Structure 1
């Protein structure tokens, strides 16, 4: 029996872990000797950022919740490590699977290796090369101590090999977040704000902003919003506000009839909006992958990305954090000149099955 411990802590993790759980259950039904234990670190601990995802993605209740949310990054890392050390000591595993690039990913990988447990990193090898991003530090540390790498692109493979990872430890399998997107797409749910705001397809843009470079300085986020409002013609702007961003916006008085700042939306409701939007403005990484698969124009307000395939192949473009990039991008959008894009290789909805098939073949665990 191969005992797997799965780590989930923050909103993006749940989308990536759900198909892996479903693939394990399918393997069990087919008589495979594999079991799993789901550890929720509690990094995201409110209902919209965590609870709704378990319900909507048909995730089982976690076997344990470490309740490690809140505090500074150092405090959160320490709390996760303390909690997970006890959890893994009490419930040993043959393999710990971490996903993505959040604090939980790095913290649990460190604990697992110190307890002599092998680590697999789903979404290993992606790089922004921007060390000012906490996520980049998490990626570098995690990949430095990972045993098996499950990658989303050939670019990630190349990043790993350049850093000295042996090719036989790298498995190009695709993107588990796209597994979730494709499975859940028929279930996308109209949010209440659709009727409240009388939204119409392709007549609004969806916005998400949460990165420190965009939201920590009041002058920066105000300048971005002002520029976006000025250059989006008659389109409605739907802005589900991240809790981090909400704290900043409370101090500002940015108001406009077309700007609608709403509570964070659950997965099915948010993607209902994205799928029907004219475009998305974001500083998220994962959303650029989802828009690429759905064929929705995406403008990323960052100076770099760890997901270059969404630009090289998909519908995403880097606009930058300087407001001067917004006007020309909007002009191309409203002139109907945005690129069409294509879907990257192996982003086909079967990634998690490929991951579990590989793990079942591992002789050393």
Structure 2
């Protein structure tokens, strides 16, 4: 059985690594082989290349090199590239992860080629259709065959859409597999010493969503609110490429904000683990802070990972800058919640996924054969 594993953007690499490792560990006697396909959606070394090296993932078998562009341009380039890969050799299963453009694009191409689709992180929903990621989730799940989920809430979301229980596999969170596997390997970034940073004495922020970064005035208002409430602590800001363009339009930033380049995985997790708190508009980072017990504030009005709020250390603050100060006051007053780790976020998700795929393969012939017949 040939499995295409699709990776396109930075979060995908952390999610596929445990699956790749599990296939390699269990491959003997299972009949499973994989073809790792990098769509090239993230093409900067700090956003992609370093991750393959640090996470022990082999070089991709194929790199589609989609590069940048509008949503439609990127989608079309990825679809055309993956269609060409399948024309050379059909796979038996297309495994996609998360909710980026690559996830949706490759799912559509696979289904049109009568190949089964497995979606890792299926069923998560923010309820906000202004987010491109929400559209990607809805489209992907509407044509997925096998749904690998991170929470019971995701299972319920799928059931409400008419998905039967025998197609839903509650396996846990592969991103947490990667986190737990690498916690003893994390290392400080080069700037950690020169900036005189110490554990618990800085704030970490990440911002990349259009609602937060596409308008320079709004972005500056948010950064000012963070700086004013940081009580003199340094604010470390690894800058996403889309955010950097608007920072250049802003000019001078508050003195406490230290803009740095995107960090490789081991360095970034070191920053998260040692931060006083993390302010972010990323969904994946809220999962990592929950497992590490780090206070987290989500600068969005909705989240597709509500378990990080109901169980974890995350709170949904919103996008209004005036909401940041009161939350930071609670943080510095020692009133932040402790949180707990959600069920099955235990480091064994990749193994559960591969075991389920093996069972599926043994029980049923690949969908492409059914389609052709």
Where 2:250 maps in the other structure, the secondary structure is: coil
Aligned-pair CA distance for 1:214: 0.4
Report how far residue 255 of structure 1 moved: 2.4
Aligned residues of 1:48 and 1:264 also touching (Cα < 8 A): yes
The answer for the alignment partner of 1:137 in structure 2 is 135
Is the Cα contact below 8 Å between 1:222 and 1:254 reproduced in 2? no
Tell me how far apart the structure 2 counterparts of residues 32 and 115 of structure 1 sit (CA, whole Å). Answer: 24
Partner of 2:369: none
Which residue of structure 2 aligns with residue 196 of structure 1?
A: 194
- Show structure 1 runs of 5+ residues with no match: none
2:371 is matched with none
Q: What do residues 273-305 of structure 1 show as CA deviations (whole Å, max 9, x unaligned)?
A: 110110000000000000000000000000000
**Of residues 119, 126, 140 in structure 2, which corresponds to 1:128?**
126
User: TM-score, normalized by length of structure 1?
Assistant: 0.98
Distance 1:255 1:162 in 2: 46
Structure 1 residues 84-93 or 117-126, which shifts more? 84-93
CA distance in 2 between partners of 1:282 and 1:349 (Å): 24
Tell which deviates more after alignment, 253-262 or 11-20.
253-262
> SS state of the match for residue 96, structure 2?
strand
**Distance in 2 between residues matched to 1:112 and 1:200, nearest whole Å:** 48
Matches within 5 A, 1:218-233: 218-233=216-231
Deviations 1:130-151 (A, max 9, x none): 0100000000000000000000
Question: What residue is the counterpart of 2:305 in the other structure?
Answer: 307
CA RMSD of aligned residues (A): 0.7
- Tell me the distance in 2 between the aligned counterparts of 1:46 and 1:300: 26
* Partner residue of 2:292 out of 291, 294, 298: 294
Unaligned runs of 5+ in 2: 367-373
User: Aligned partners of 1:48, 1:288: CA distance in 2, in Å?
Assistant: 21
Q: Partner of 1:249: helix, strand, or coil?
A: helix
Deviation at 1:234, TM superposition (A): 1.8
Aligned residues: 363
Q: Deviations over 1:229-248 (max 9, x none)?
A: 11110211000000000000
Quote the residue 1:17 is aligned against: 16
Alignment of 1:338-349 (within 5 A): 338-349=336-347
Q: Does structure 1 conserve the Cα–Cα contact (< 8 Å) formed by 2:180 and 2:347?
A: yes
Match of 1:61 in 2: 59
Which contiguous aligned blocks of 4+ residues in structure 1 show a shift greater than 4 angstroms? none
Residue 173 of structure 2 is matched in structure 1 by 175
Please name the residue that 2:26 is paired with: 27
The residue that corresponds to 2:359 in the other structure is 361
Structure 1 residue 226: Cα displacement: 0.6
Q: How does 1:161-310 map to 2 (within 5 A)?
A: 161-310=159-308
1:191-216 CA distance string (max 9 Å, x none): 11110101011110100000011001
2-structure distance, mates of 1:254, 1:163: 49
